[in-house]
Amino acid sequence: MVAATVPRMAAFTRRDILAQLDAHCGTFTFPMLDNGYVYLVDTRLTAFRDDRRWALVIETLGYSPRAGQLDNTVHRYGNCIDGKTGTHNSDFLCAIAGDIEDPDDGEHLIPGLDAISIRGVTIAVPRRDEPWPLADFFRTLVPAHRDLLLADRGELMMRLPPDLPQILRLEEWHHPNVVAEELPSASPTFQMIAEVMVSGDPRKYAPKMAANTHWSHWPDGGSL
């Protein structure tokens, strides 16, 4: 978390923030962690604000078998986004170079592949005799290479004002089940995040519910 000075009255309200997030649920542009077309790998949330402006960025790192690659989808909300809120074509990021999917056994790593490139950094691939499902392989990369897989500072700030201060970062949180029609406005997590951005006080985020953003909590992801 990032400490903040006491702000003046914000030019936006908690209702403004939650209403925008709810509206994106209706257009399927709010993160759905059990998306049947995507195996969830990791998530991150970053909030920005000053007295006039607010922005919320939610990253969902996932493997799409149909696309054949690992994408970081960067969802952007706020009252100062350059272009449309939600996602834009530029908000789908792929840090892994080259084709690593086995052309003869879809959704698996190429047999015998000994290294991959993430943002130009060569990462050794452990030896494995049996076929390696790509969803499982990508998840093994997170503990050591998370910073390479998620957005860097420049990517995170794309379409946001460069001078907008960061107030909160969450590596895990309790996320609503969008498929079950749970809305952000009814989520204690997003109620608190909205309060942080309106008040300018990161201490307003004091979760009592256990985090559920780890991929293991969303077994239906990638099942279609």
Inter-residue contact 100 to 116 (CB < 8 Å): yes
Rounded distance, CA 88 to CA 37, Å?
19
Could you state, in order of their start, the residue ranges of all structural domains in the chain? Answer: 14-215
Put simply, whether the predicted model's pTM sits higher than 0.75 gets the answer yes
Q: Give the pLDDT score at 66.
A: 87
Give pLDDT < 50 ranges for the chain.
Answer: 3-4
Identify the bridge partners of residue 101 per DSSP, sorted by sequence position: 109
The distance from CA 11 to its chain's CA centroid, rounded to whole angstroms, is 26
User: How far, rounded to the nearest angstrom, does the alpha carbon of residue 209 sit from its chain's CA centroid?
Assistant: 19
**Which residues make Cβ contacts (< 8 Å) with residue 102, sequence separation at least 6?**
108, 109, 110, 111, 131
Q: pLDDT digits over 195-224, tens only?
A: 999 999 999 999 999 999 999 999 999 988
Q: What pLDDT score was predicted for residue 147?
A: 96
Decide if 171 contacts 57 (C-beta within 8 A): no
If you write DSSP's letter for every residue of 105-140 in order, what string do you get? Answer: STTBBPTT--EEEETTEEEEPPP-SS--BHHHHHHH
3-state DSSP of 27-42:
CCCCCCCCCCCCEEEE
pLDDT per position as a tens digit, 3-26 = 445 555 789 999 999 999 999 999
Q: What pLDDT is attached to residue 220?
A: 94
